[in-house]
Amino acid sequence: MTIETLSMAKAINNGLRAAMKADEKVILMGEDIGPLGGVFRVTEGLHAEFGGNRVLDTPLAESGIVGTAIGLAMRGYRPVCEIQFDGFIFPAFDQIVTQLAKLTARHQGHQTFPVVIRVPFGGHIGAVEHHQESPEAYFAHTAGLRVISPSNPHDAYWMIQEAIASNDPIMFFEPKSRYWPKGEVDLSASGSPTYSSRVVREGTGVTLVAYGPMVSMALQAAELAAEEGTSIEVIDLRSLSPIDYAPVVASVQKTGRLVVASEAPGNVSIASEVAATLAERAFYSLEAPVLRVSGFDTPFPPAKLEANYLPDVDRILEAVDRSLAY
């Protein structure tokens, strides 16, 4: 076993490096990702190591980045695109949902499009408008795309490599608020974490489902609840499309209660989908309605008001209390 303690940003950096060493067809594309190393320094050092032909600084044109990546994929490359901030992805929306997501199906699988689109997403960094959004549900709704989001450095290291090795188009949502906290990464791990939900804290009283930036918040809530005698089981989805429901169903069958937490607005969201699916698959195990804790159904506010908008530990615990009150 080889263990290193890394931040998520460094873990993704190392994962990108490993993928580039393993396959010379892997190339990185994005705004300021070359000598600068990206605004979050996730690609730091890769331009110097692999050169400008494999780590490409692009113009400020997201539609051009993704459109070019589609063409490169057709020629046998494995492009990895960085969208600088979540709210900047929409100029590329047409290329992603009407082209990239559908091209493999149009070719009946004879032509693959192994494009990875890295998207720093979520709040809690005090940034300005269009820099703290959660657009993952748009893409999870789109057939032909896989949508994944790591919550810790270990998963990030392995999931980025599996995403690059996949022949499917993958949206890789990176919780920017989790870029800097460090965690252990097992560099010799076997087995894929990418498309499987995982119980990250066992409990018996309430099931709490989260993904990406909300997993750490869910774990904090579970720790505080334990001090008051409430046992919360926390599940990290990791994959948002497809979702591995088996661990969630098994947990709800044990606890009888489910709370789903995410930063995105609750209307027509990943949280909504989890709630609806568990109501179908575990209805007779539920002892209380499924509850959602989410961002509000409003545009993301100015940075000084983000604490009023984003779910926090108190809002999660309030939902847990409501669930237990039934």
- Per residue in 129-144, pLDDT (tens digit) is 888 899 999 999 999 9
Q: CA angle, 174 as apex, 169 and 179 as ends, to 5°?
A: 150
Predicted local confidence at residue 19, as pLDDT: 97
CA distance linking residue 93 with residue 95, whole number of Å: 6
* Contact of 215 with 233, CB cutoff 8 Å: no
Ranges of the chain whose pLDDT falls below 70: none
Report the percentage of the chain scoring pLDDT > 70.
100
- Per residue in 74-96, pLDDT (tens digit) is 999 999 999 999 999 999 999 99
Widest Cα–Cα separation across the chain:
60
Q: What is the b/e burial string over 187-203, where b = at least 16 CB atoms within 10 angstroms of the residue's CB?
A: eeeeeebbbebeebbeb
Query: Which of these is catalytic: 47, 107, 110, 131?
Result: 131
Q: What is the b/e burial string over 53-66, where b = at least 16 CB atoms within 10 angstroms of the residue's CB?
A: ebbbebeeebeebb
Helix, strand, coil fractions of the chain, as percent rounded to 5: 40, 20, 40
Domains of the chain are 7-186 (3.40.50.970), 198-325 (3.40.50.920)
Catalytic status, residue 131: yes
